Chain A
Amino acid sequence: MKKKIVAVVLVIALMACCLAVFASCSKKQTDAEYILGKGTLVCGVTLYEPMNYADDEGEMTGFDTEFAEAVCAKLGIKAKFQVIKWSSKEIELNSKYIDCIWNGFTVNEERKQQVSFTQSYLNNTQCVVIKSSNAANFTNAEACAGMRAAAEAGSAGESAAKGLTAEANVTSVAAQITALTEVTSGTADFAVVDVILANSMVGKGAYSDLQIATGIQLEAEEYAVGFRKGSDMVEKVNKVIDELLADGTLLTIAQKYGVDGQLITK
């Protein structure tokens, strides 16, 4: 019996050794060498207008899509778009299934601990979305106090919502769009979401009864591309963004998708 136990232990030890060898096999190379070496930049995206979405033929399009393609063309590599779950974006990045998060990614301090951002390219603000029938009650920020709010977990909108009403009144949901659904269904009085998303969603389809509360101004924020923490790709991409800004390519793309008003031209 003892011999058998020893055998089992040995087998486990052997497997552990194999794993260790397997792990040390991967060569040490910088992130840029890794990405340029394989010739594709895998961008983690979620599909939403006007950033990344499929057109009628099923082709990927949108502001971020064309932007990423333009940057990659300059770097001599191909852009690939991988649909991910937004809540798993950092884990996708760190496990190397995607090389960057390029999907209207808001810069904030917590995220800076996890990812390395490029320069910001688009201004965004959070906005309060309410039922149109309720518009008279939401004329200013004070009106939100004591109301029930919904916002995406971990989003900039969530922290903004907590500033507007008591923390206990804020429901954290899985996606920005779910926050809108909460308002439509009446389980929340208002939602705090990206203005770029809100502009393309409210007033149509399932959200035809919603509108942006125009009297409430929230803090401005910026979108940037997120790479793995400490990646040397940031520098390379920044340089290309500068070039695209200088020759007007980025402005043209922004105009095409109606976000030129928010473009950061420095």
Chain B
Amino acid sequence: MSFIEVTKQLLSGFGTTCLLFILTILFALPLGLIICFGSMTRFKPLRYLTRAFVWIIRGTPLMLQLFVVFYVPGMLFDSPIFAQLENGRFIAALIAFVINYGCYFSEIYRGGIESISKGQYEACAVLGMTKTQTFFHVVLPQVVKRIIPPMSNEIITLVKDTSLARVIAVIDIIFAAEMILSLRALLWPLFYAGAFYLVFNGVLTLLFGYVEKRLDYYKV
């Protein structure tokens, strides 16, 4: 098996990896904010419910969550809901990743929001701003700036975590490399796959560095 052939197969797996990564970010970022509001609400039942949910999701292995999302409907209710879909396995993986990362993001958001001093809220109230205005115009921009380092940490972890989707046989780049290994007895494609992650994360690191710099315009 030539280098070009291996590259081709790995690239098609890497496409799945990238798609899973991008879609997870796209859905988990807003979901995290919603979960964050849930865990900060003054309505106690909802707050406890949300915090219990975050505890379960953060407290159990992502691999198990993938299993639960994908297999449990078929095992308990006799209806493999992802079987009819063309990309059922991918969608199941995406759901598990979005929920999992939504929970992690929610705690990062919460840390960011709670770091904003009470004085700012009072100042907004004095200026006659509504709660919504206060949040979106004053609090959120500062939160975004403050949470970029922990977020970039989590996002880089996500890039590598996507390879976990292979436990439900989503053919990502690592699974593609594993299949080459078991078919052709070639070990090097697995390490070659590592280079893809390294480059991808390198680009992300540069991107986050750039974003941090651009948001440097106001000091808190």
Contacts and interface: CB of A to CB of B under 8 A. Distances in A.
Interface string B61-79: 0000001001111111111
Interface stretch (B17-25, B109-117, B162-170): B162-170
A207 B49 CA distance: 53
Contact of B169 (A5, A26, A84, A180): A84
Interface size range of chain B in the complex:
20 to 34
Contacts of B75: 91, 94-95
Contacts of A94: 71, 74-75
Contact of A22 (B71, B79, B178): B79
B181 A177 contact: yes
A94 B70 CA distance: 12
B169 A83 contact: yes
Given A96-B74, A96-B78, A8 B49 contact: yes
B26 interface: no
Interface string B100-134: 00000000000000000000000000000000000
A175 B182 CA distance: 9
Nearest to A7: B45
Q: Is the interface of B mostly helix, strand, loop or mixed?
A: helix
A46 B182 contact: yes
A204 B83 CA distance: 38
B78 A49 contact: no
B183 A206 contact: no
Interface in A40-91: 46-49, 53-54, 82-85, 88, 91
Given A95-B72, A201-B185, 16 more contacts: A1-B44, A4-B45, A46-B182, A47-B183, A85-B168, A88-B167, A92-B169, A94-B75, A95-B71, A97-B70, A97-B71, A177-B181, A177-B182, A204-B185, A205-B185, A206-B185
23 contacts: A22-B77, A23-B77, A23-B78, A26-B77, A26-B78, A26-B79, A48-B183, A53-B183, A91-B75, A94-B75, A95-B80, A96-B78, A97-B74, A97-B80, A97-B82, A177-B181, A177-B182, A177-B185, A204-B185, A206-B186, A206-B187, A206-B188, A207-B185
